Amino acid sequence: MGKRRQSRELTLKFLYLYDLNKGDLEEQKKMFWDWVGKDQAKDFTFQLIDSTLNNLEKVDEVINKFSDNWDIERMGTIDRNILRLASCELMFHKNVPGKVAIDEAVEIAKKYGGKQSSDFVNGILDRVNSHISSSLAQEVN
C-alpha cells in the first residue's frame, strides 16, 4: 500500500473516532498517533485531517447539496467521513487529480464501508467533482 493510501485510511480512522468522540483536536491527534505508531505517513495524514476539519462546514455543505435525500448526519459514520475526506481533497487539494481522489475514496469505501458504500460514495463524489470542475471553468472564462 502506498503512503498516500495509508494516509487516507489513517485519516478516515481518525475522522471516525473524532466524529464519535469530540474533544481537544491536538490532544486527540497525539493520542491517535501514539496508538497508530507509524511515522512514515504522519505529515500527509495530519495535513488531510487538519484540512478536512478546518473546512468541515464548507465540505459538509457541498456534500449535503449533492446527496439527494440524504442529510449528512443520517449517513453512516464511515461513508460520511470518506465523503468528507475526498470532498476536501477535491475542493482544497488542487495537486490531487479529481479522478485520483474519487478512485481512492471508492477503494477505501469498499474496504471499510458496507455493501453499497462504494456506489454511494462514487455517485456523490462524481457530482461534487463535476460541480467543482464547472465552477473552475466558469472562473477561467
In tens, the pLDDT along 53-67 reads: 999 999 999 999 999
Q: What pLDDT does residue 102 have?
A: 97
The pair phi, psi for residue 12, each rounded to 5°, is: -60, -45
Q: In total, how many domains does the chain have?
A: 1
Residues 62-86, mean pLDDT to the nearest whole number: 93
Q: What pLDDT does residue 141 have?
A: 36
CATH number at residue 77: 1.10.940.10
Question: Distance (Å, rounded) from C-alpha 56 to C-alpha 108?
Answer: 20
Nearest to 82, CA basis, from 64, 104, 58: 104
pTM attached to this predicted model: 0.91
Residues 31-35, mean pLDDT to the nearest whole number: 89
Question: Distance (Å, rounded) from C-alpha 110 to C-alpha 105?
Answer: 9
Range of the domain at 80: 3-140
